[in-house]
Structure 1
Amino acid sequence: MEIILPNNKVLRGDLTPLVIKRTDLTAVPSTLECLIRVDNELNEFIQEGEIISLAEKDLKYRIIATSKQGDGIRTQGNPDYTLTKVIAILDSCHQIAFAKQKAIIKENTNFSTIYRACGATIGVSKDIKVRRFSCYIGSPPSFQIQQALQREAATIVWDGKQTIAFTRLRDLFEQPPKEILQQDCTQEFISGFVERHEIPAYYSNTENGDVITSTTKLGRGADFAMFADKQILNNLSTYLIQRKVWTTRLTPNINAGDIIEVEHKKYVIITATHLFSQFDAGSGSQLSRFWLGELSNMVNKTK
């Protein structure tokens, strides 16, 4: 995977022994983690706040952290390189991750409007109404956006290019699969114990003081949700639960939000990672790993 510096220079492959591109169903939907061999000439471009790009689709990432991993690494006879770990996030969404100096409060609006108010510039191909959103001074909007999405049983799906879609969790399973596995070659993870602890039931109260609850199974924890009707309570109890991990050949066109069908059952990708490593960085491999999930069956029906 080629990395382009702010001066439009393409880094040589031997200077990037490890590159990992990650996509998630989160407010900042893609991150880039890499090891770069940096000398005095490159040092000014590998700094926090600088923009690096992936040549494959001209995707721009903003560096948010760097750390030196070692000194005096010899590359092509030059011992003056410093191995530097770089973490970068999708530039068009980077403002979502930073604490705000003023409060952002919206009611009865769209998620795209909230994204714009929080500083994101990425395009939106599909939108959802949100009843209430609040991000107070000193808080990063990313967490509050995830909370607002959960109240609508929805998530964010990045197309791997320049747009995102706000999508209901149930709608994810209506799309055709990107890959079909006739035989299950995944690692499986199933724990009713963990599910009962991590996915609570929710309750709230009406204006006249009556207590209302989500339609959930018994034997769960319980959390209070403010300003919630029955539908929101059910939405809060609708989750994607990780069930499988699939490691396969490099398939960078598959990302979080896509569907993998395993033995005639659909799973949505919660997290996707694509790894490129040189032989001197370990085994020297190119592979993709996907964390697959299914919808929680706690709620009988969510519109």
Structure 2
Amino acid sequence: MELYFGENGDQRIRGDFIRRAVLRSDLVPIPLTLEAEIRAGTETAEHFEVGRSITTYDGDELEIIKSEFIQQARMQADDLAGYVRLIAILKPVVEVAFVKPRAVIKRGATLTEVYRACGATLRGIEGDFAVPRFACLAGEAHTYHIARALQEAGGVVRWRHGRLAFIPLPALFDQEPVDTIVNTASDDVESGFLERHDIPWFYSVDADGQFVYGNRGKPRAARFQPGVNEVTLRHMTGCLVLTKNTRLKYTQKIAAGDLIEVVGGEPLVAMTVATLFAPGADGDAPEQFTRVWLGRLEP
């Protein structure tokens, strides 16, 4: 895994200085995160303080939101040797992660405008759409309300090639597969009992006081959602259900939202992709692999 630091993001962190790094890609409002432990001295640790940036090989800049310097016993001259344990998230959307003292209320704004109102610095969002209503009160997390707007629109956001894109859930399965796995070489995760309790169907009331129903095709728990139409109610039931997880050889070519062909089964979408790089810099056993959590569409 190639990581860079410095003012211009052009100073490479040597591989033997990385004790452990996990780059995680998700289909969530903040779609890219990094957890890492990097060897450093008391002087070089300042490059990995909160607010500094780390850049990936693909050019994605992540801002450090948590940093802890762990001192170790050995010393090099007057410099205490140790390592920095840090968490970083995608810089263009870093402000979205913070609770704000002011409310953000929008009506008919695009998803890009909603992100920007929450503090993001995105250039734009591919597949942008109008959010009928967005209300995040003071002291609440923006990410929850953005995720809610995405659910009502029947899609997810993904980060790919330096851009954020909105993709409807069915469109995820219309892509060309980027990789193939064998059905028997992965772990199955399935529970219809839990699905019926965790994925409810929704109903509402229209302006005339008549009930409006979402997807009632399966016996599930029911939830009331005020002020939405039938299309939105159906979108709210649709989701990706975790079906498999599999361990692949180390790769950074797969990201959340990619379609994976399953030999002997139906194609599945990568919901979360976590790439681990641990070269065994301090004498530990080296580990380098990619774990993928795969889901099917529950309409």
Partner of 1:34: 36
Distance 1:42 1:261, change over 3 A: same
Q: Which secondary structure state, in structure 2, belongs to the residue aligned with residue 45 of structure 1?
A: helix
In the TM superposition, 1:1-303 aligns within 5 A as 1-7=1-7, 8-54=10-56, 56-69=57-70, 71-72=72-73, 80-123=80-123, 124-159=125-160, 161-181=161-181, 183-263=183-263, 265-279=266-280, 280=282, 282-297=284-299
Q: Which secondary structure state, in structure 2, belongs to the residue aligned with residue 255 of structure 1?
A: coil
For structure 1, which segment, 214-223 or 288-297, has the greater mean C-alpha deviation from structure 2 after superposition?
214-223
For residue 112 of structure 1, report the CA deviation from its aligned partner. 1.5
Q: Show structure 2 runs of 5+ residues with no match.
A: none
Distance 1:221 1:63, change over 3 A: same
Deviations along 1:141-171, one digit per CA (max 9) or x if unpaired, are: 1110000010111110110x32011111111
Name the CA distance, whole Å, in 2 between partners of 1:285 and 1:155: 31
Fraction of identical pairs, as percent: 31
Q: Which secondary structure state, in structure 1, belongs to the residue aligned with residue 105 of structure 2?
A: strand
Distance 1:29 1:73, change over 3 A: farther
Deviations along 1:16-48, one digit per CA (max 9) or x if unpaired, are: 111110000011100000011221221212211
Q: Which secondary structure state, in structure 1, belongs to the residue aligned with residue 11 of structure 2?
A: coil
For structure 1, which segment, 265-274 or 45-54, has the greater mean C-alpha deviation from structure 2 after superposition?
45-54
Q: 1:17 is aligned with what amino acid?
A: R
| Count of paired positions | 294
For structure 1, which segment, 124-133 or 224-233, has the greater mean C-alpha deviation from structure 2 after superposition?
124-133
Partner of 1:300: none
| Conserved? CA contact 1:201–1:220, under 8 Å | yes
For structure 1, which segment, 6-15 or 183-192, has the greater mean C-alpha deviation from structure 2 after superposition?
6-15
Name the CA distance, whole Å, in 1 between partners of 2:255 and 2:74: 34
For residue 129 of structure 1, report the CA deviation from its aligned partner. 2.5
For structure 1, which segment, 288-297 or 120-129, has the greater mean C-alpha deviation from structure 2 after superposition?
120-129
Distance 1:277 1:78, change over 3 A: farther
| Conserved? CA contact 1:72–1:79, under 8 Å | no
For residue 74 of structure 1, report the CA deviation from its aligned partner. 7.1
Name the CA distance, whole Å, in 1 between partners of 2:53 and 2:136: 27
Q: Which secondary structure state, in structure 2, belongs to the residue aligned with residue 43 of structure 1?
A: helix
Name the CA distance, whole Å, in 2 between partners of 1:290 and 1:114: 30
For residue 130 of structure 1, report the CA deviation from its aligned partner. 1.9
Q: 2:172 is aligned with what amino acid?
A: L
Name the CA distance, whole Å, in 2 between partners of 1:140 and 1:6: 30
Name the CA distance, whole Å, in 1 between partners of 2:45 and 2:69: 11
Name the CA distance, whole Å, in 2 between partners of 1:248 and 1:282: 21
For residue 281 of structure 1, report the CA deviation from its aligned partner. 6.2
For residue 282 of structure 1, report the CA deviation from its aligned partner. 3.5
Name the CA distance, whole Å, in 2 between partners of 1:93 and 1:185: 36
| Conserved? CA contact 2:246–2:293, under 8 Å | yes
Distance 1:82 1:182, change over 3 A: closer
For residue 217 of structure 1, report the CA deviation from its aligned partner. 3.8
| Conserved? CA contact 1:216–1:237, under 8 Å | no
Q: Which secondary structure state, in structure 1, belongs to the residue aligned with residue 113 of structure 2?
A: helix
Q: Show structure 1 runs of 5+ residues with no match.
A: 298-303
